[in-house]
Structure 1
Amino acid sequence: MEFTIGGQLEVRMTPADVGKRVSVRRVAEAPSEGARFTDTVGVLTSWDDGVLSVTTKHGRIVRIPESSLVAGKIVPPAPARRRGPAAAFAELSLATARAWQPVESEPLGAWRLRAAGGFTRRANSVLPLGDPGLPLGEALERVKAWYAARDLPAYVQAATGAEGTQEQLCAGLEDHGWRREVSAEVRIAALAPVADLDADVSAVRTARETDAAWLSRYQRFGTPGPHVLEVLGSGPSVWFASVPGEDADGVPAAIGRCVVDGRWAGFMAVEVGPEYRRRGLAKAVMAALARVALDEGASAAWLQVEADNEGARALYDGMGFATHHLYHHFRPA
């Protein structure tokens, strides 16, 4: 990173630049040989009482004392992605929300409080796509009370890493004692190449509704209650896929779910039994669902994968999916 003017390091930003993307160099806290400085790139989310907060695209909040600051400057927004369809954050966020709907929801200003009996964080967290209409501290107290009344932990889902995302909200949540519990990547790709994957789809069965066999492979609950079935069945146009297993118990070798919503096809619940892995079944399920979605007029694909799931991330890399943004679930400490 270049910070020099006439060979001198300079700080070329002020507290008035809060909300902008910055590149900052500071003295390393524990300098090692040849590494006297530490560099951070992200959104400047606050600059108060002699401390800067910079939120990176991965949701990490870095607090930097002014006394350690060596150089800093405003940098242009991240370059447009070269792969996959163009996608605005708001459009994609709404599509992902419609594909995994809660059983109960309530507005708080432009926030949406969502609950589904505790089945997945996505269906039991706040979707904050605007102003809650209250100061942040008051809004969070309302959130905690709403979830407590339902015997559920309070979560807020906030995003980083794309234009129009919520780095300042992430910093505000941390300032109010909320801590990031899990992070996931939202990835996108053109749909046609997914449909054209080199995979044998002859054994993949697709259906409009789930059944007991499909549910027996799904790993996210014990005994499925009505709220589980309601969430799984929600969305504009829902498809389920399965590959029959080899055992008499009827448990599928692999399953998947796809929701078609206009130009978007969202892929979820792609699971392969441990004994069936490395046979290309995940690709086969994805390809079969992509072909159904193409027939319905979709042209773009999205999926969500937890940031620490290295195996799944590598699989989706090979399918052409690129990270659009990240989302993080915050919970009161």
Structure 2
Amino acid sequence: MTWKDRQSGDHPTAEAVVDLASVRRLEAVGFRAWPANTVHYDGSWLIRLTAGHPSKRLNSVNPLDPSDYRDIAIRLQKASQRFAEHGRSLTVRQTPLTPPQMIAHMDAEGWTVFGHSLVLALDLAERDFGEGIDHLPIKDVRRFADARIRIGKEDPGSNQALVDIISAIKPESGLFLFEDREIGPTAVSLVVHDNDLAGIMQFAIAAPVRRQGIGNALLGTSLRWARLRGAKKAWLQVEAANEAAIELYRKAGFAEVYRYLYRAPRGVGHGNQG
């Protein structure tokens, strides 16, 4: 896809030529792959809230129709109140589906821009993964969550919330964990198989073993499992600043489908995870 940077108010955003039908489908499977505790619709705005976990994807307003821009200020105020009731600050996830009028409103009000991410996809039909699988998924969700938190150096107190999120995933999921006898968990990946699509989630490599081929091995294992389960295409989300991960994915054949970012009212903090 061709992206052009532009200045919108004081904040950089992006415009792109994208297939909105593909965006809608990937957004839908993304919500199923990473379910929020509370879901509320205001028109076509999907409001997702999860009090126990700081993930921005689980705590954001997600506009899903570019033509739904009525009463923007009033609806954002109502959303802000809903977020406050959950102990959260209002956050909007801006994708190609966000109405231009809403983007203009946020620009005019001085909303901050942060958390730029890319959505990448790969056609699995073009890859030969063989007939077998070299690494089986584990069944212990808590063990996986412990490893993910340890590798990511995250707050151990978020363990139960992560267990709850993974346990709430409806589509078939594969939990992959690589370990070393001396340093413990080295890599994790959560693969969510949803009809002909497979999402690669929670992909993380421990700092001491990066650039040693483990990331490539884990990605290959994840994609092989997804293909053997019947998935035709894999997708994932990655922060735009994570150059090492993007390089790994592009070498595997992933290509950009679209981008998104987060917005918050001026003066509001945004320390949530991705």
Q: Does the pair score TM above 0.5?
A: yes
Following superposition, the deviation at residue 195 of structure 1 comes to 6.6
2:5/2:14 contact within 8 Å kept: no
> Secondary structure of 1:252's partner?
strand
What corresponds to 2:188 in structure 1?
Answer: 255
Matches within 5 A, 1:80-99: 88-99=22-33
Distance 1:79 1:304, change over 3 A: closer
Q: Distance in 1 between matches of 2:178 and 2:233?
A: 24
**Larger strand fraction of residues:** 1
In structure 2, list runs of 5 or more residues that go unmatched: 267-274
Distance 1:109 1:165, change over 3 A: closer
1:104/1:116 contact within 8 Å kept: yes
What corresponds to 1:267 in structure 2?
Answer: 200
> Secondary structure of 2:35's partner?
coil
What corresponds to 1:59 in structure 2?
Answer: 13
Larger RCO (alpha carbons 8 Å, 6+ apart): 2
Distance 1:211 1:193, change over 3 A: farther
Q: 1:244 aligns with which of 145, 158, 179?
A: 179
Q: Distance in 1 between matches of 2:218 and 2:102?
A: 37
What corresponds to 1:138 in structure 2?
Answer: 74
Q: Distance in 1 between matches of 2:258 and 2:99?
A: 11
The one-letter amino acid of 1:244's match is: E
What corresponds to 2:42 in structure 1?
Answer: 108
Q: Distance in 1 between matches of 2:261 and 2:81?
A: 21
Q: Distance in 2 between matches of 1:257 and 1:194?
A: 20
Structure 1 segments of 4+ aligned residues over 6 angstroms from their partners: none
Q: Distance in 1 between matches of 2:213 and 2:127?
A: 13
Q: 1:316 aligns with which of 226, 242, 249?
A: 249
Percent of aligned pairs with the same amino acid: 24
What corresponds to 1:295 in structure 2?
Answer: 228
Q: Distance in 2 between matches of 1:79 and 1:226?
A: 37
Q: Distance in 1 between matches of 2:128 and 2:219?
A: 7
The one-letter amino acid of 1:279's match is: Q
| RMSD between aligned residues | 3.1
1:108/1:133 contact within 8 Å kept: no
Distance 1:209 1:265, change over 3 A: farther
Instruction: Note the alpha carbon deviations across 1:52-93, whole angstroms, 9 max, x for none.
Output: 969x9x7259xxxxxxxxxxxxxxx8488xxxxx96211111
Matches within 5 A, 1:1-333: 59-60=13-14, 78=17, 88-117=22-51, 118-130=53-65, 134-160=70-96, 166-192=99-125, 196=129, 202=134, 204-212=135-143, 214-218=145-149, 219=152, 220-233=154-167, 234-247=169-182, 251-333=184-266
2:147/2:188 contact within 8 Å kept: no
Instruction: Note the alpha carbon deviations across 1:167-208, whole angstroms, 9 max, x for none.
Output: 4433332223322121100111112456749xxx74x34134
Q: Distance in 2 between matches of 1:236 and 1:152?
A: 28
Distance 1:187 1:53, change over 3 A: same
Distance 1:259 1:269, change over 3 A: same
Following superposition, the deviation at residue 287 of structure 1 comes to 1.6
Following superposition, the deviation at residue 108 of structure 1 comes to 1.1
Instruction: Note the alpha carbon deviations across 1:1-42, whole angstroms, 9 max, x for none.
Output: xxxxxxxxxxxxxxxxxxxxxxxxxxxxxxxxxxxxxxx957
Q: Distance in 2 between matches of 1:115 and 1:41?
A: 32
Further displaced range: 167-176 or 263-272: 167-176
What corresponds to 1:3 in structure 2?
Answer: none
Q: Distance in 2 between matches of 1:179 and 1:79?
A: 24
Q: Distance in 1 between matches of 2:79 and 2:262?
A: 14
Instruction: Note the alpha carbon deviations across 1:234-262, whole angstroms, 9 max, x for none.
Output: 24111110112122x7x311111111111
Following superposition, the deviation at residue 230 of structure 1 comes to 2.0
> Secondary structure of 1:141's partner?
helix
Q: Distance in 2 between matches of 1:151 and 1:214?
A: 24
Distance 1:272 1:53, change over 3 A: closer
2:110/2:265 contact within 8 Å kept: yes
